[in-house]
Each structure stands twice: as structure tokens, then as C-alpha cells.
Chain A
Amino acid sequence: MNVYSTICPGCNFGCGLYIRENGKLELDFRKSSPANAGKLCRFGMSLPRFYAPLRSTVDGKETTLDEAAKEAAKRISGGSAAFLSFGNTTCEELLAFQKLAESYLCTGANFDALPKDTHQTLSVGIPYSEVETAKHIVLFIDPYEQYPLILRRLLAAKKKGAKITSVWWKKLAVADETVNPADISKLQLTKDSLVIADFHPFSDVEQVKNVLSIAKNSEARITFLKPFANSTWAYIAAKDAKQKSLAQLVEDINKGTVKTLFCLESDPSELIPQDVLGKLTNIIVQAGQAGAITNKAHVVVAHEPLYKKKGTLINNEGRAQALGGGSTNGLDALGIVAGTKLEFNSLHESVKKSLGIAAVDEFSIPKYERPAYAALQAALKPVEAKTALVSVYNPFMWFNMIDDNDFVEMSLNTSRGLKLLKGGTIKIKSNGSTIEKKFRVAPVQENVLLSCKKFGIEKGTITPVEVSR
């Protein structure tokens, strides 16, 4: 019976768990894990489903990992290749990947549109223990749906007397007060406040600037949660690299200057429209499990899943965590693609050196520089639509996995205004398409529909829609 001590790839929180291979995959709770005390969210509990087996293929034909990697090397040599990785794999692999991707690197984050002096704040969060001791916490996230393991830290803070303000479209049980995101000027912060927001490929840059600015002006602390495991390292390792934003990548694919996309443990099918992906001559995916993109890829380099890998992950706090597997065949495959043999040990030493640590110890957090950033101005665009469909991005959405989330939430007044029938459906129209969905009444802001699933009619996080019975 193989048992692996591992980290959940569902987001950047860094939750420890065990995976057992015992005919089928099973999970077990690693109660000594400092980030999560062994507790897992809905997605973490679904990991045996997430780790769907994958085989190496070239143009749909099954082959070996080595052959697939050699073919990938051939297809990226044309000079019009872009390289995409949000994280989701070890620091050691990401170091090697970012070197390979010097010509065109995309981490999915739009750093170019944000001042350089904010990048470190966006990349590395604060220790979760500091959440528990904060006096006033301002949430720009829904902890229940998006980053559930932060919830127990918020509850611990509340027990110690913290006040929690939520800037969200729905009244959250953990919050003492709720501020409508449209009325953000009403927000009152002090230097004792801690702002918790998130930063992801669909983050509205002006909204990110606004949140940074609010914290800056009140001298409050701020921390950004992120949806992809080890994106902390993906971002800090690429801080001096010339990165391309996701929007730039889409533009370059549309223009035809990018014809080949190499994705390392990252599925762009949630982030890049299907018609754009369809313009690529080559989609090369190096991954450890099957997903939406692996069905579309021209070359699949299938290596071990994350839980079998050897290497280091950095969680949102900046905590270095060792994976309990022993395999480096993902790294070996990258070596074949790059045309050079990659040594795990030397890459591991580089990671430790960069973090200023002698050994990976999950019980202590390396010291990170947390430079102050200059005042910044945001140009927020008000939402003008009468009714808006708000996508509440969560791990099931990022990884395109089925969940019990095929419905929208709305207020009782909105439901009554539309004369919706209890147990019935609502019609939602956008961009010429109409969908019909179940609804649930919840304490949501008026004229807002919240959704934890992508329905295919969205235009970003907030989509103006027309609704009817």
C-alpha cells in the first residue's frame, strides 16, 4: 500500500493530506499539517476524482513519455511558442520551466498592469496565524465557496473579539457587517484592519488597485489569496522575467504570432475562449492528470500526478512544504523538452537559496521582504447593468470539475419581483444566449445573481444579464 504525504492542488492555501493508492485512490486526513490541521474543503475531498489517469499522446496516438516530450521539443522549436504555467507544480519544475519559457512566459497573472512595487504584496501573503490575531478583518472574498480553509482562521479571530466586515454581494454568516461592493466608499479601515482579497487571472486590475489603495491609505495590512497551488513561487520566481498577460497571450494567438502553446500543469480551457484555443496549431500539455485541455491537446506529456512528485511547494503564507513523493519524471520530461538534463538536487538548492533557508521545514515560514508600495489610483468602472451575474470563482470552476453547483443564488425580493415559482427556474439572457437555471433564495444584494459554476454566457467575473420567469 503506497501512502503519500502531499499538498492539495485545489488552491494556494497549502492544505496537507495523505493520498493512498489501494486499488483506487483514497484520501486520509493529515492532522499535523500546520496550514490546515488536516481539514479539507469540498474540493480537497474530491481529489480522488481530480486525479484522473492520463496517458502520453501525440496527435491522439498513445506513446511513451519520452517520445511525447521529444515531439514537444520539436514543435516548440518553430519560434512561435508561448509557455503557460500558473503554478500547480513544484518549485524545482517551475524554475526549469521558466528558463525554458524565457521567450514567452505567461503565469496567468496580469502583473504588467500593476505597479512593480505591488508585486511582492500580491505574490506572498501573510501567515494565517496573523489572521487569527487581527482585530478587524475586511473580506473581499467569499470564504465559504472560494477559500474555505481561511474560514476557521476567521472564526478563531472572531472568538478573540475581531470584527469582520464583508465587501461582498451576499451576507456571509461569518461577517458582522456587509458592505455592498458598489458602495465601497462606505468602508472604514484603520491600521488595525486586515484586508483579505484574492488575485487571479480574471481579477479586475482596477479593483486590485482599488483594494491595494484602500489598504495603503489606512495603513491596514493586506493579503491576497490565490487559486493555484504554488502560484506564490510561480510569481516570485518570475518577478524579473518579462511576463505576458493572459490578455496579451489571447491577442497574440488571435494575431497568429503565437501558434504553439506549451502548458505545464495548467489548464487554459477555463481562461482562454475555446475559439481562440482552436486557432493554435499545437497545444502541448505536460500534466499529471486528465482535464478538459488534455482532450484537446495535440501533444500530451503525461507524467506522475503531483502527489507522487518530489519537490517543494510554497503556499500562500510563503511556507515551504515538501511533497512526499519520490518521482522526478516531470522534471526529466522538461529536460527532454529543453534539450538538457535537469538535476533535481541543484534546482532544489537554488530554491532553498532563493528562500534563504537551509532546509524545507513546514513549521516555520521563511522571512520575506514585504516592501511598502507607493500610493496608487484606481479607475473603477461602476456596474451599469440592471441585473448582474457574478461568477464566484472556486476550485471546481478553475479545474472545470463537476460539482453540486448548477444553480444561481438571488434575493427573495429579486425572486418575488420576477414572480419566480418556488422550486422552479429562472431564465438568464446574455450575449444573445438564454439559459434556464434552478435558483436558491439567499441574502444576496438586490438584482445580483451569484453563481459558483460557469454557464458559458459569462463575460468576465461580472456579466450584465436580463432575467425573466
Chain B
Amino acid sequence: MQKGEMLIGWSTKEDVRKRGGSGGLVTSVVAAALEKKLVDAVVVLRKINEFEAVPIITSDVNEVLNSAGSLHSVPSNFAKLIADRNLKIALPAKGCDVRAIIEQSKRNAINPDNTFIIGLNCGGSMHPVTTREMLDVLYKIKPEDVQGEEIEKGKLIFETKDGKEHAITIDELEEKGYGRRENCRYCMLKIPNNADLACGNWGVTGDLVGKATFVEINSEKGAKLLQNAIDAGYVQIQKPDEKGIATRAKIKGAMEGLGKKWKEKVFVPLDNRLEYFRKELEHCIDCGACKTVCPTCSCGDISKCTEFHSRADPYRMSMYHLVRFLHLADSCIGCGQCSDVCPADIQLARLYRRFANPVQEELKYEPGIDLRKPPYFEAKLEV
């Protein structure tokens, strides 16, 4: 087993296969890492219901085996949860989580040698409140009646407790203002090859559809992680067929194409940039949630954006935001967590990307992709 290898695998445990998504491979890899002491702790989502799960750090294998499967309505944020804790840890992570972990590693807040990242293919996540409203308005089903959801062939499908499936195309949902969070629509990282493993159902074919996970090994750590799960008897694997590999590449290409279209649609050139930013930020209440939640920020309580800012200042646009725009130009990964938590519903991710897109394109620097590339605007001090 080595870097670059592609495999198809599933959990050997029947209950995990049933509960977890796509054959329960990810849950089993994480559980095996814990049980065989490859790591001391893992991050899992403790499921509350179909629209809510809370991330926890645990060393309890049973908690891992009982954790949530794929939940598109839980836009989780794991990097800060594990930052500055010096843990030997394994965790599943969607593309933006992986990017955030890499950025935190560059800033010495996470030790990459002790962090095993199981990347999850991600076409996008949805805000739970928007999802509940969407179920009511468009699907005409009660959120309480939902018992599962999946995305397949461009459709978002909800399964209700009566066994029926309810499908609407994502295009239609998004035209009507529902569907994925805005930043997910223009995200270009669909298969997280920046993680130790990249897992998902794209490329699983034939009888194994829905029952297995396609795994790409991206690092030696990834190989070790998967081999550990096989040796522990948690996971079985086989080689994928050529058709599967081709399908996977095709889906990836299509998703990236769609992301590019959305990017062009959202980031139309501006006539009056200063006025645009002033207007967008006029309802800011200075809560600081966007900084607190930002998974690439590792400044702590005392930071440039807060220290240069005072509520007593009469600026028409706060220094806090100006400093953050600058600070994030090279490190914003477009995860959208800032927009999610803004109490004034400011589309902050869009504003940060307005600065980050041209800078990152010009510098050919994508944050969170390659651990060896230091943040462009900062020097990484060797300790």
C-alpha cells in the first residue's frame, strides 16, 4: 500500500455499514486508529438529529462507532477544535476542514505529524435552518419526518420515515435561494487530495454503489492509517475498476466546472469597490464571531485586527475588517464559516474572497493545499 494508490473499501462491521455513509469505511478507519493506539483521540460528530450534530473529541471507540454518518446540513468546523491541543489525533474532514488544518499546521498550532486527516469528498454543505425551511417550502415534508439524505446525480434526495424518497435537482433548489451555502457553490476542492486519505462514493460502481467508499491514498500517513484499519480487521478493500476511476474523474471535472461557473456568477466586477464594502459592512455589530470561527486564524485574543480597532473610533469602515481583509488575502480558504455565524447576515466569505481571489490567483498560492508552502504574506519561523 503506497501513496497514489486507489482502492475501494468498506467496514467489516455490519452495524457500522448500516449507520455510516457508503459502507462505513471512514468510521471504521477512525475507530481502528483509536483502538490500535495509532492516535490518542479522534474527532467525530455526535448526532442530535438529521440537521444537528456536535463535534467532539473522544477516545471512546464506542462513541466513534455510534457517531453520525454523512450529514450535509451540518457545516462543521474542526480545525480550531484541535488547534493548540498537542493531540495525536485522527479526524474525518471535508475539503475546507483539511485546508484549515494545513493552515493551522503552517502556523504551528497543529502538529501535522500527529494529525491523521481522512478527507471526505464534498459537493457542498447546507445551513440547517435553510434546510428546514427548504423542506417545508419546496419538498413539502416535515423536517421531523426525514430519516436520511444523499446527493446523487445532481439531485438532493431526502428519505422520509415512510420509506419514500423526495428528490429535487440542486440547480432548481439554488435558483430558488436554497441548497448549498454560497461558498460551497464556488468551492473548487471537491476531492481533498491534500488530506492523508481522500474518501467518497464517486467512482464506486456496480453492486457496491452505496455500500463502499472509494479511497485515494495521498500520503504515507494515509497508507499507514488504512493499513492499520485492515490489520485490525475493521476494513476490507479491493481494487477499483477502470470504469470507476474514469467515473470519479468525470464527476470531479463536472463539479469543478460548476464551481467555476458559480465563481464567475458571484464575483462580478465592481464599479465602486469602496462604497460596496462600506454598504456590505454597515450592519456589523462588532461581535467578533467571524474572527473567532475563522479556521485559519491562529492569532488568539490579541491580534492585529482587534488591537487596531476601537468602538470609540468614528471610521466609516472599521479597522477590524480592513485588517482582516488584508490578513486573509493570502489565507482565506473560502469555508464560509464567517458568513454562517454573522448575526447581521453579512456575506463575509464573499467579501474576503473579493480580496483573496485576485491575490491568490496572481501569487499562484492556494492556502491549505500544500503544507510546504508558507503563508505568502508571512514568514514561518523555524523553532
Residues of A in contact with B (beta carbons under 8 Å apart): 1, 3, 5, 18, 22, 28-32, 34, 36-42, 44-45, 144-145, 148-149, 151-152, 155-156, 173-174, 363, 404-407, 438-442
Per the bound structure, the CA–CA distance linking A144 and B129 in Å amounts to 22
Given contacts A31-B341, A32-B73, 14 further A-B contacts (CB under 8 A): A3-B56, A22-B57, A29-B340, A31-B52, A31-B75, A38-B341, A39-B342, A40-B341, A44-B287, A45-B289, A155-B344, A174-B283, A363-B143, A438-B312
Let me know if A152 and B340 touch, CB within 8 A: no
Knowing A39-B289, A41-B285, A441-B314 are in contact, say whether A32-B52 is a contact too (CB < 8 A): yes
- For the complex of A and B, list the 4 residue pairs with the smallest distance between their C-beta atoms, beginning with the closest: A32-B128, A32-B52, A407-B312, A39-B343
For chain B residues 50-69, which have a beta carbon within 8 Å of chain A? 51-52, 54-58
Q: Are B312 and A406 in contact (CB under 8 A)?
A: yes
Task: Find chain A residues with CB under 8 A from B310 CB.
Answer: 404
Offer 8 A-B interface pairs, CB within 8 angstroms, sorted by A: A29-B341, A30-B52, A39-B345, A148-B287, A152-B344, A363-B143, A404-B310, A440-B314
Cβ-defined contact, A144 with B341, below 8 A: no
**What CA separation (Å) do A145 and B287 show in the bound complex?**
10
Choose among A40, A173, A405 the residue that contacts B343 (Cβ–Cβ < 8 A).
A40
Most buried by A among B282, B287, B341, B343: B343
**Contact indicator A151/B314 (Cβ below 8 Å):** no
Known: A29-B341, A30-B52, A31-B75. A45 touches B287 (CB 8 A): yes
Q: Are B343 and A149 in contact (CB under 8 A)?
A: yes
In the complex, B176 has a CB within 8 A of chain A: no
Quick check: is B157 within 8 A (CB to CB) of the other chain? Answer: no
B166 at the interface (CB under 8 A from A): no
In Å, the complex CA distance between A200 and B90 comes to: 49
Within 8 A of A (CB), among B261-305: 282-283, 285-289, 292-293
Query: Is B48 close to A, CB under 8 A?
Result: yes
Chain B residue at minimal CB-CB distance from A442:
B314
B312 & A42 in contact (Cβ 8 Å cutoff): no
B54 touches A40 (CB 8 A): no
Contacts of B345 in A (CB 8 A): 39, 152, 155-156
Q: Nearest Cβ distance between residue A452 and chain B, in whole angstroms?
A: 8
| Chain A residue nearest to B128 in the complex (CB) | A32
Are B344 and A405 in contact (CB-based, < 8 A)?
no
* B286 to A, closest residue via Cβ: A42
Task: Please measure, in the bound complex, the distance between the C-alpha atom of A145 and the C-alpha atom of B284, giving whole angstroms.
Answer: 11
Say whether B311 faces chain A, with CB atoms less than 8 Å apart: yes
B 334-381 contacts with A by CB, 8 A:
340-345
B313 at the interface (CB under 8 A from A): yes
Tally of contact residues, B, Cβ under 8 A: 39
Alpha-carbon distance between A31 and B342 when the two chains are bound, in angstroms: 11
CB distance from A116 to the nearest CB of B (A): 36
Shortest beta-carbon distance, B164 to chain A, in Å?
22
Residues from chain B with Cβ under 8 Å of A148 in the complex = 285, 287, 343-344
Residues of chain A within 8 A of B55, CB atoms compared: 28
A151 and B127 within 8 A (CB): no
Residues on the B chain within 8 Å of A155, using CB: 283, 344-345
With A31-B340, A32-B129 in contact, do A1 and B312 touch (Cβ < 8 Å)? Answer: no
CA distance in complex: A359, B343 (Å): 29
A32 touches B51 (CB 8 A): yes
B111 to chain A, nearest CB (A): 18
Evaluate whether A45 and B288 lie within 8 angstroms (CB atoms) in the complex, with A1-B58, A404-B310 already known.
yes
A144 touches B312 (CB 8 A): no
In the complex, what's the smallest C-beta–C-beta distance from A1 to chain B, in angstroms? Answer: 5
Q: Name the distance in Å between B198's Cβ and chain A's nearest Cβ.
A: 26
Cβ 8 A contact of B285, one of A34, A36, A42, A156: A42
Whole-angstrom distance between the alpha carbons of A122 and B52 in the complex? 33
B287 touches A41 (CB 8 A): yes
| Residues of chain A lying within 8 A (CB to CB) of residue B314 | 440-442
CB pair A151 B54 closer than 8 Å: no
Query: Is the pair B54, A18 in contact by a Cβ cutoff of 8 Å?
Result: yes
Bound Cα distance from A36 to B289, whole angstroms: 14
In the bound complex, residues from chain A placing their C-beta under 8 Å from that of B58 are 1
Counting chain A CB atoms within 10 Å of each CB, the highest count among B56, B285, B292, B344 belongs to: B344
- Give, as a whole number of angstroms, the nearest-CB distance from A106 to chain B: 32
Set of chain B residues within 8 Å of A440, measured between Cβ atoms: 311-314
Is B287 within 8 A of A40, CB to CB? yes
Which single residue of chain B is at the shortest CB-CB distance from A154?
Answer: B283
Taking CB atoms, residues of chain A closer than 8 Å to B340 are 29, 31, 38
B288 cross-chain contacts in A, Cβ below 8 A: 42, 45
* Residues on B with beta carbons closer than 8 Å to the beta carbon of A32: 48-49, 51-52, 73, 128-129, 132
A222 to chain B, nearest CB (A): 24
Known: A39-B341, A42-B288, A148-B343. A173 touches B129 (CB 8 A): no
Question: Once the chains are docked, how many angstroms separate the CA of A155 from the CA of B293?
Answer: 23
Residues of chain A lying within 8 A (CB to CB) of residue B286: 42, 404
Contact A152 B343 (CB under 8 A): yes
What residue in chain B is nearest A412 (Cβ atoms)? B314
**Considering the complex, which residues of chain B in the window 138-157 have a beta carbon less than 8 Å from any beta carbon of chain A?**
143-144
A29 contacts B293, C-beta separation under 8 Å: yes
Contact A31 B289 (CB under 8 A): no
Cβ–Cβ < 8 Å partners of A404 in chain B: 286, 310-312
**Minimal beta-carbon separation of A378 from chain B (angstroms):** 31
Given A32-B129, A37-B129, A42-B48 contact (CB < 8 Å): no
Q: A45-B287, A151-B285, A363-B143 are in contact. Are A1 and B293 (CB under 8 A)?
A: no
Give the residues in chain B near A5, CB-CB below 8 Å: 48, 54
Which of A3, A31, A404, A438 counts the most B-chain CB atoms under 10 A from its CB?
A31
Closest-by-CB residue of A relative to B85 is A22
